[in-house]
Amino acid sequence: MSKNKYIFLPFIILTFFFTVSFKQVRFDTHHKTRRVPLHQKFQSLKNPFTRFLKAQRYSQDEILVKFKPTVSSQFAEATIAAYSSKKIKKIPKINIYQIHIPKNISVEEMLYAMNRNPDIEYAEPNYLAHMTVTPNDIYFEYQYALYNSGQSIGVPGSPQGKGRADIKATAAWEETKGKEDVIIAIVDTGVDLFHTELEKKVISGGRDFVNDDFDATDDNGHGTHVAGIAAADTNNNEGIAGVAWNCKILPIKTLDEEGDGYYSDIIAGIIWAADNEANVINLSLGGKYQDPFLEEALEYAYDKDIVIVASAGNDGGSVLYPAAYDNYCIAVAATDYNDERTTMINTDGLWESNHGPEIDVAAPGRRILSCVPTWYWGKGSLPYGYSSGTSSSAPHVSGLAALIKNIKPWLSNSEIMDVIRYSSDDVNSNEYPGNDEFIGYGRINMEKALVPIKISTSK
């Protein structure tokens, strides 16, 4: 493929091929896309689960009470006084009383007492609500995968998304943005080490197994795009937001400038990541052939308690390897801005998110905005572009895994993988309820995965 064609196609198309004669893996190669205009916009989340963003975020001396419709105002106020409490105000139309409780009783105790009163319909804490985290990155409004308000997906004339068909990142960031001691290894074409969004995030020059040196500079673009999705520098007044704001990136080059890589280099890259303090390994790559050595490398990393995330593939067929190694990887399919499994026609024909029983979850993978190398557009241009494919889906999951590892470091890799699976939204439940071969347990939900909701059963 010529460099010009690679740069100027309207989307960065990620496809998978396999060269049988050389047992070589061809990975999702990008195509260049258009720029997006500079425009800054801030949004707050309107979400019914806001009250659960932090444990016990409610007033410690107030509660809200609603009496049954048959109770008069006079009797209601007398009841409030009987509890040694004081009415602050009555909210009209729905007849809710805001009540100040005495200092010698806790909110929990007062709620217990009032909810046992037959004249009271229900009593609840006076929860605190607040704006969720919206980063100031100037292209954040185009990152529908993180927050989808139903906006246009890109430049004017682009399709519009469905509101809240996203991974609920803004609510989750209220809980954690990650820490520098959690490392995501990007095993790919390398990373642009001097990209303004990544230079502070990479922990070293990494490792290049293609050229056998310690300079994992990206000469393709794919790895840079993947790294930006997972952990771009965020809230820095420019560019995009990464899923894991503060987590670090370990760049490992196992694919060449055409997006091709031998299994031997990928195996070496996985082992090197495992031996160099990676907590999460992202594998936005895949081949059609099962290989016991590749499986051994995955087992080696998995036994070191590393979460391994792999993209499923884009040819509409069975899940590719390494994602198909179900015992060690969380296999990721792609959804779009309408929460539908990704299928689209492009200049290369039809591409479709792969499917099979190995699929664990899905994440947005169509028209995903992220970083591209600084040479990608030419001198003076903005180093960002769109990409489509499961290669873009996987780093959303890797970023989430890193945040879970940060906030709950005692969890094992298998437990983190289960949290990601079981907190997902079953967005295709009308057609395929439950775990299915197309999007697994569902499209990931960062809010559910990270927010400490205590669930108890009543008897």
Domain with CATH 3.40.50.200 in the chain: 3-46+136-450
Among 391, 392, 393, 398, the active-site one is 391
Reading the block at residue 368, the tokens are 């995903």
Do the beta carbons of residue 445 and residue 423 sit within 8 Å? yes
**Per-residue pLDDT at 133:** 75
Domain with CATH 3.30.70.80 in the chain: 58-127
Among 30, 31, 195, 222, the active-site one is 222
Question: Each residue of 316-363: pLDDT tens digit?
Answer: 999 999 999 999 999 999 999 998 987 765 544 557 899 999 999 999
Which DSSP string do the residues of 28-57 spell out, in sequence order?
Answer: --------------------TTGGGSSTT-
C-alpha separations of 318 from 156, 262, 387, 424 in Å:
36, 21, 22, 22
Indicate whether this model's pTM tops 0.85. no
Do the beta carbons of residue 356 and residue 318 sit within 8 Å? yes
Residues 6+ apart with CB under 8 A from 357: 326, 437
Residues 6+ apart with CB under 8 A from 9: 31, 32, 33, 347
Check whether the bond before 364 is cis (ω within 30° of 0).
no
Question: Each residue of 349-401: pLDDT tens digit?
Answer: 557 899 999 999 999 999 999 999 999 988 888 999 998 999 999 999 999 99
Residue 222 annotated as catalytic: yes
Closest CA to 243 of 373, 402, 449: 402
d(CA 287, CA 42): 41
d(CA 153, CA 149): 10
| Mean pLDDT of the chain, nearest integer | 84
**Per-residue pLDDT at 9:** 24
Question: Each residue of 74-129: pLDDT tens digit?
Answer: 999 999 999 999 999 998 888 899 999 999 999 999 999 999 999 999 998 887 66
Reading the block at residue 258, the tokens are 């055409």
Among 28, 188, 256, 436, the active-site one is 188
**Per-residue pLDDT at 92:** 81
Closest CA to 169 of 427, 418, 455, 397: 397
pLDDT over 70 (residue 433): yes
Percentage helix, strand, coil for the chain under 3-state DSSP, each rounded to 5? 25, 25, 55
**Per-residue pLDDT at 407:** 95
**Per-residue pLDDT at 270:** 96
CATH superfamily of this structure's domain 58-127: Peptidase S8 propeptide/proteinase inhibitor I9 (3.30.70.80)
d(CA 256, CA 273): 18
pLDDT over 80 (residue 158): no
Closest CA to 114 of 151, 155, 67: 67
Which DSSP string do the residues of 102-121 spell out, in sequence order?
Answer: PTTS-HHHHHHHHHT-TTEE
Residue 425 annotated as catalytic: no
**Per-residue pLDDT at 253:** 96
Residue 155 pLDDT level (bands cut at 50, 70, 90)? low
Residue 188 annotated as catalytic: yes
Beta strand segments in 164-259, E? 183-188, 207-208, 248-253
pLDDT over 50 (residue 450): yes
**Per-residue pLDDT at 342:** 77
Answer CATH for 3-46+136-450 from 1.10.287.3510, 3.40.50.720, 3.40.50.200, 3.40.50.10860: 3.40.50.200
